[in-house]
């Protein structure tokens, strides 16, 4: 149970439930292959059955951490900081992103879009989930739409989401890791027949890096 004082800091985004932070190579989507500092925020109620970071779901397991410390750590390593989760937009991202921008960092977010957008972002990667669909604020601002393909029906879902996202968003299809042998050939064929889409792979897993 958080103290009243800490809870107030969390509520205004001055402290966030930090699960982990690390410097690595971006493995997915538009910025694949580029160096970035990842800040993983705990807490998610979207509940994807194939989530590979289920330990992030319970925010209470991850200690509230001052955004000053998060920004100081991130600024030591990379020009680009990726805020991920969990679902980072469960929390107010205004202060974190402003402080990162004040430190001349490029700030990216990876989100399901299930919550309204807060914060100032250089790049928004929207990865929508069927069980809790994105808000209009994220559809309207997303730079990248990345749909995870677990089964054939997900191609239908991907097209539905492409209709809702803004016209400038870059469209990606990515095989769910446990189904990659089955789904990757289907994605390749789909993209060749529907070239508005691009293929995204979890290259960090092939490289065996975080």
DSSP state of 150: S
Whether the Cβ atoms of residue 163 and residue 137 lie closer than 8 Å to each other: no
Tokens of 112: 């399901």
Rg (CA), the chain: 17
Instruction: For strands 35-41 and 15-25, give the pairing.
Output: antiparallel
Q: At 10, which helix (H) or strand (E)?
A: helix 4-11
Q: For the packed helices 94-102 and 67-75, what is the interaxial angle rounded to 10 degrees? A: 40
| C-alpha span between 122 and 100 (Å, rounded) | 11
Residue list for the binding site for S-adenosyl-L-methionine: 50-52, 86, 127-129
Residue list for the binding site: 25-27, 40, 44, 48, 50-52, 84, 86, 127-129, 210
Measured in residues, the chain has a length of 210
Bin 119: left if φ > 0, else alpha if -120 < ψ < 50, else beta.
Answer: left
Residue list for the binding site for [4Fe-4S] cluster: 44, 48, 51
């Amino acid at each position: 149970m958080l103290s009243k004082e800490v809870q107030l800091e969390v509520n205004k985004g001055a402290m966030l439930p930090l699960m982990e932070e690390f410097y690595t190579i971006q493995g997915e989507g538009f910025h694949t292959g580029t160096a970035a500092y990842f800040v993983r925020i705990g807490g998610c109620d979207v509940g994807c059955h194939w989530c590979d970071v289920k330990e992030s779901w319970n925010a209470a397991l991850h200690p509230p951490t001052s955004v000053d410390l998060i920004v100081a750590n991130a600024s030591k390593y990379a020009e680009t900081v990726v805020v991920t989760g969990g679902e980072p937009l469960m929390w107010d991202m205004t202060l974190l992103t402003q402080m990162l921008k004040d430190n001349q960092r490029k700030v990216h977010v990876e989100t399901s879009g299930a919550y309204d957008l807060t914060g100032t972002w250089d790049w928004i990667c929207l990865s929508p989930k069927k069980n809790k669909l994105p808000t209009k604020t994220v559809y309207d601002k997303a730079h990248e739409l990345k749909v995870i393909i677990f089964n054939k029906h997900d191609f239908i879902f991907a097209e539905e989401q492409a209709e809702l996202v803004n016209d400038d968003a870059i469209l990606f299809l990515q095989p769910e890791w446990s189904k990659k042998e089955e789904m990757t050939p289907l994605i390749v064929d789909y993209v060749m027949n529907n070239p508005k889409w691009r293929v995204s792979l979890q290259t960090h897993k092939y490289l065996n890096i975080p």
